[in-house]
Chains A and B, each alone.
Chain A
Amino acid sequence: METMQRRLRESPVITSVVSVLLGMLVGAIMMIAAGYNPIQAYQALFMSAFLMPYDIGETIRTISPLILTGLAVGLAFRTGLFNIGVEGQFIIGQLAAVIVALKMDLPPVLHAVVAVLAGALGGALWAFLPGLLKATRGVHEVITTIMMNFIALYLANTLVRNWLSQGADSTETIPESASLRWDLLSQAFGNSRIHFGIFIALATALFMYYLLWKTTLGFELRAVGLNPHASEYAGMSVKRNLIMSMMISGLFAGLGGASELLGTSGYLAIHGSHTGIGFDGIAVALLGANSPLGIVFAAVLFGVLTYGGPVMQFEANVPTEVIRVVFAAIIFFVAANVVRWMMSKFGNKAVKKSD
């Protein structure tokens, strides 16, 4: 009884599932408070993603970048790093990909591959500085990466305005040769914008699993995250691992940005504020307990909610922003480990009663 209770209390799956339900409860309360019907709203929300092949395709398209940004945040978390900079690395991934797509002339497939790799490299390099500063000068990565997010945003904007276009608000559309779209795939899903990004995302999840649990580097990354002092004592270089972790995390984020640009939008526009996909990655990673499989499932849930939001607004009249509230509540419940607290309260009562 005791061990089963503890196992339940410490299982990340239980924590995540209960947190999601609590989060949706908060959303329902918000809806009732504003005079909407939560049952109708949630029905529209979840049904919308699976109505037609087109919707399924679009939902998968929404999920793909969330998997990648979630993996990016999750990998850094494993080494004890909080990479809030995934948003900025995502933008640099987009920027590097669009530069290769527009400025280089390569045959089909190869062009797309080079553009994707450029995005990944860009993301990794953008994460290098925060990693270096953390390793050499002990500067907290949260602050540097937040600053780097804004620098990335303005850098992309100035390059789009002054170099990639002649003073316009967005670049031209990328050539067919660099696109990640595939007509057969798109047609199979009712001409939606689904693209190769989902395969990149799933392959990256597999890669993260392999890296963390099947390689020496991965072992070191996790060891540093669990106990940097012990790792140092065991002869691992904590500094090197911190920098590596940030760069691999940035690489995942860059892949997300590149595939989103080459697959979904096809051009880079000037943005007044951040895309939000990088920040959503934080929620995805937390909910997925930083495990590759958990992150994929969490991204599916967040993707379904994100895609379903506008449909819910249309059908049940509930503003889409209630989804953001649900996300926020889920983050709170996972972070504060409210579930474990509830179980310990509940568990103690049960034990007392049986006495």
Chain B
Amino acid sequence: MRFYRSLTIAQKQIVWAWIFLAVPTVFYIWIRFYPTANAFVLSFQHWNLLSDREWAGLDNYVRLWNDPVFWVVFKNTFIYLALGTPISLALSFVVAYHLDKVRFMHGFIRALYFLPFMTSAVAMAWVWRWFYQPVPIGLINNALSSIGIPQIAFLNSTTNALPAVLAPAIWAGLGFQIIIFMAGLRAIPQTYYEAARIDGVSAWTTLTEITLPLLKPTIVFLVVFSSIGFLRIFDQVFNMTTNDPGGPLNSTKPLVLLIYDTAFNGFNMGYAAAQTVVLFVVLLVVSLLQLYIMRDRDRVS
């Protein structure tokens, strides 16, 4: 008590801050950091949940390196990212840019775009799965064949399946990105636009020289946010391909689904942990890139 009294007010504040922080800190260490550390340890072990854990050295990583399925899956994960992020950002920007100028039924249209974001990914995946079925039940193929166009194999194709699975994922995330973009657009001071108009600058130049540069923080946030989302894609893929998860022939399988399969069908916990560590590293690199780009922007401004 005497010790506490001898502290300055600032020091007392720190003490109290730590007392209040202690609860979430302990909680976080217990449910986040401890399991994470445990997963790292586990990635160097063999474990099937039942027997004791056995040290395996680098076995799991060597196996990963030599596993052709892992490389297919790794590639798929980056295709989801490489297609998903730019397409979803471009679409949502175009929609937000024009929606920003629309006054007629603005709220209603915005709600329509936002609605899919609020829908359960599972329900949505199953509805799209039904759209994609061949004749006689698939919505799209029924429509195509009724006007004499041959059916398209959406999900039962090694080339079409991934884009077909990606489409609803992009569509579902669009609403959120549009809202963020619109907030970003509203935050740009009108004075810049007025100045541009006085100078007689073309609409294209206004877009590329004023709107886009000033939207950079918004864009960086959305790029990182959606990148992490696409790197972790699971719900849509799993629910649209439950018969042959990640199929056909692994053509839609993302990393998270491989981890799930290794852990909860194969009960190969060590190997699954090694795959998780790889995912962790990939996500970490993406996050560090974000920090790097953000810092760069601060220095310029």
Partners in one complex: no
User: A residues bordering B, Cβ < 8 Å?
Assistant: none
